[in-house]
Structure 1
Amino acid sequence: MRKTFLAIIILCITVSCNRAKDYQQVIHDPVLYSHLTGQLTEIMTFNIFTPPVASRVYAYSHLAAYEVMAKGDSNYASLDGQLKGFTNIPHPETGKQIDYPYASMIAMMEVGKTLTFSNATMDSIVNALKELAIEHGMPDSMESQSKAYGLSVAKAVLAWSKKDNYAQTRSAAKYTVPEEEGKWIPTPPAYIQAVEPHWRTIRSIVMDSANQFAPPPPATFSKDSSSEFFRWAKQVYDTVNNLTDEQKAIASFWDCNGFKVNIVGHAMFATKAMTPGGHWMGIIGIICKDKKVDLSKTIHTYTTVAFALMDAFISCWDAKYTWALIRPESVINQYIDPNWKPFLQTPPFPEYTSGHSEISSAAATVLEHLYGTEVSFRDSTERGWGWPDRPFRSVREAADEAGISRFYGGIHYSRSIAVAKEQGIRLGNYVMTKLQTDKQRTKLAAQ
């Protein structure tokens, strides 16, 4: 975790370089919140959290921060009573000195620490945060009372998280690969068993059920070269065999493979990268900074997008394990070209529909609700993995590119990407319609 501790030092230097700043200027800086989210991403990357599991950590961590923030900002409404079984969130005690931004960060980090099992690392980050606050003039009593309140909200969120069926899925039966032709089978090079086959049983955050936005059935598997399904596979084969440099760059930029298996001679080793959800968390930080939004809106943005991400993974995984559709690599190797390889490494779970496409589309839809449809930005999230920045004219353009990247990578049929995009749009709109977070909007609607 050397990189994490280095990041803590850089964080401290960044926000405390101006000694004239008081604690409100330092702790209330939305960029600091984005830095802390980045630390959470780094911890999950280091510990190889799967994309669905990472989305769960983001959702609960940001929910804790949001609930604290909403108690201190009259423009935002608590989600107490709006989410399934999410009730009785603590209020601050009368007479206590609470710095809500500080308490929000404490709550977020406490939930993140608990769900990632990274006590020492997270405690070091929180201690650095405390030093910043005290150094810049936050009274000791305010610091301790704010921390206590943040921890009380975190405790309530964690208690709610324990009822989402996650623990039960850790001991559930392993996935049995169907013997039926056309169904998913493990793929090279490591032939890893199916990832999170029971994720659709996780309690959703905003959706009513895992299959609320179920896609239509995929084309029926067929080896007939004139069939729709075979044309899907042949399209992948032909495209990957003729990729342009730009298409390769797009596929690589959005790969976000948290556990890529590499084989060199007789040696096998894995390389890590952040999850696709982590990529969108990074985009949020960029947009919030570009737009110069305050801390409350920054927290609100992270929270609503995190909800969409978690529900999108539940929705997508429901489709994946409902249809258990075979991957292009398996079809092409068996019926077209036994020596063919995709440009990207095929992930270890069924094909239909595309997770990248659905979660990116859902995230972009939420961001469009919050910032409009013409938000341009420069995506620098992949610098740490050696990929150059990519400019986008809108979040929709970025989401569409994330989706098509999986086709260029040779790991998804184009139809799966298109269908997943529509799933994500519907889901994102539902999240923003169902949640009542804006008090002013709620009051106007009631009049």
Structure 2
Amino acid sequence: MRLVVLTGILGVCLSQSISVQGQQKKTNIKSNEVATAWADMTLHVVKKAKKNSPTYGSRAIGYLGLTMYETVVYAAPGHRSVARKLSPGLSLPKPKRRKSICWELALNAGQAYMLKALYGYTGRIKPIDSLKQYIHDRYATGLKPKDVERSEKFGEAVAIAIFEWSKSDGGHEAYQRNFPYEYKRPRGEGYWIPPYHGQSSSKFPLHPNWGQNRTFSAQNGRLPVPKPFPYSKDTASQYYKHYKEVFERKKILTDEDRTIVMWWSDDPSETYAPPGHSYNLATIAIRKTQADLVKAAETYAKVGMAVADAFVNCWKTKFSFNVERPTTYIRASVDPQTQWNPWEPFFLEPPFPAFYSGHAVQSAATATVLTAMFGDNFAFVDDTHTSRPMLAYQVKNKLPDGAPTSENYTEYMPTFTDHTLIYKARPYKSFWESAKECAESRLLGGIHTRQDNEVGLGEGTKIANNINALRWH
């Protein structure tokens, strides 16, 4: 992902007048620079945000994408507002008839308002204001002041209405309660326990009530919760076999496998988390195809809302069953070793239950949306993490089985092999190829089973299809 390149923004306002019937005159809207500049700024702010989480981040891009679309939807004939399809009570402003609107200025004002409303707590307001002012200066030049004011007031009014609606979804200001200490997790065999060494030092799970939040698509809120395999120690059971596969797969990890794991790691403490990765894939598709302003906004809205709903539904399932991570089961039932040689995953476990995979469900949701927008065989290069610094890491070498004795004690002293990872852009033949690789990376990392990934891919497809089914045109 490249940070906002302000000099690449064109300064030609593609304004229109609204006719008496409320339909737009035809115009050739070519510019997507304002939309992609705000997407870049969104990821910049999210990456730097304190208390960043994939749950809150998914919600943010859902509302930002929706705001982007609703501020420009009247710019092109044949497009419809989806507000009433999301909620009968969500009433958004409409442009006044026979009054000119500069759609870039409307989008600019709406995104600035929404991004500050969602991430103002971070204190990173200056970059947002700088981008807003830059776009204002470029697009307001040559326009009548009253047309500029009307355009910006319209965009901000749309954002205000959507933000006020967002406050009732259950996730408002959720960054203030990432790890609620009052949550009581279930105890017993098969249940998730916080990792001793994980991505977070918290011994409480991330947003355990997130699954109770309102979804953008009401249909997604009604999808049945999938069920995991029943817990079993029987070596012939599906439960055992899926965890055993994780154990065996780690033995043969290659450097390419580890590269895949780290490319899709999307650690929220260092990146803009999985939702931001998906938002950037939308940007890549928009820029490659030179999509017009309205199609760009529609793409961000669909991806944002699909990813947001994916995390709500995923968390509903996670905390319905509280399924353990591979580490717990492998140590207890697959490879019970002494304290001298406990099994460890290649990648650190996140602070929430396993079933099903959040990476898989949101990647499938993204792939489903982008495939519908840009085609089945859309080849692209994912540059999301190319700005990350080189990563030096160590892989622990295998220790002897059993417990040490006085004669072989030194053999149990851990040794490590040094590795270096350079974050290079990764090419894909389709959005689904990248989604499947993302899901598989969770098994390679040792933190998810194949069932977690396969169910996630299936659920993400359903969720995105419900977003696609809204009346956009």
| Higher share in helix | 1
Counterparts of 1:96 and 1:227, CA distance in 2: 67
Q: Displacement of 1:431 after TM fit?
A: 1.7
Q: Which residue of 2 aligns with 1:164?
A: 169
Counterparts of 1:24 and 1:95, CA distance in 2: 16
Structure 2, unmatched stretches of 5+, are 16-28, 390-422
2:14 maps to 1:14? no
Look up the equivalent residue of 2:194 and give its one-letter code: P
Q: Displacement of 1:15 after TM fit?
A: 2.7
Look up the equivalent residue of 2:189 and give its one-letter code: E
2:213 maps to 1:202? yes
Q: Displacement of 1:90 after TM fit?
A: 0.9
Equivalent in 191, 194, 203 of residue 186 of structure 1: 194
Bigger Rg over Cα: 2
Counterparts of 2:342 and 2:438, CA distance in 1: 27
Look up the equivalent residue of 1:81 and give its one-letter code: R
Structure 1, unmatched stretches of 5+, are 260-271, 439-447
2:422 maps to 1:417? no
Aligned ranges 1:3-82 → 2 under 5 Å: 7=3, 11-15=5-9, 22-24=12-14, 29-47=31-49, 48-82=51-85
Equivalent in 85, 90, 105 of residue 87 of structure 1: 90
Counterparts of 1:139 and 1:381, CA distance in 2: 39
1:246-269 per-residue CA deviation (whole Å, 9 max, x = no partner) reads 21111111110113xxxxxxxxxx
Contact 2:108 2:136 in 1 (8 A): no
1:306-340 per-residue CA deviation (whole Å, 9 max, x = no partner) reads 11111111111111001100001222234424522
Look up the equivalent residue of 1:184 and give its one-letter code: W
Aligned ranges 1:378-393 → 2 under 5 Å: 378-386=381-389, 387-393=423-429
Q: Displacement of 1:428 after TM fit?
A: 1.6
**TM-score, normalised on structure 2?**
0.82
SS of 1:311 mapped into structure 2 = helix
Q: Which residue of 2 aligns with 1:218?
A: 228
Q: Displacement of 1:213 after TM fit?
A: 4.3
Identity across matched positions, percent: 26
Counterparts of 1:138 and 1:390, CA distance in 2: 43
Counterparts of 1:24 and 1:415, CA distance in 2: 49
Q: Displacement of 1:99 after TM fit?
A: 0.4
Aligned ranges 1:346-357 → 2 under 5 Å: 346-357=349-360
SS of 1:98 mapped into structure 2 = strand
Contact 2:219 2:466 in 1 (8 A): no
SS of 2:85 mapped into structure 1 = coil
Contact 2:8 2:33 in 1 (8 A): no
Equivalent in 238, 242, 263 of residue 253 of structure 1: 263
1:11-48 per-residue CA deviation (whole Å, 9 max, x = no partner) reads 222336xxxx64449x9631331121111112111114
Q: Which residue of 2 aligns with 1:243?
A: 253
Equivalent in 138, 146, 157 of residue 152 of structure 1: 157
**TM-score, normalised on structure 1?**
0.86
Q: Displacement of 1:356 after TM fit?
A: 0.7
Question: What is the CA RMSD across the aligned residues, in angstroms?
Answer: 2.3
Counterparts of 1:214 and 1:226, CA distance in 2: 26
Equivalent in 319, 329, 334 of residue 331 of structure 1: 329
SS of 2:381 mapped into structure 1 = strand
Instruction: Count residues in correspondence.
Output: 412
**Which runs of at least 4 in structure 1 moved beyond 4 Å after TM superposition?**
168-173
Counterparts of 2:375 and 2:89, CA distance in 1: 30
1:335-389 per-residue CA deviation (whole Å, 9 max, x = no partner) reads 4245222111111100000111111111111112222211111111111224111
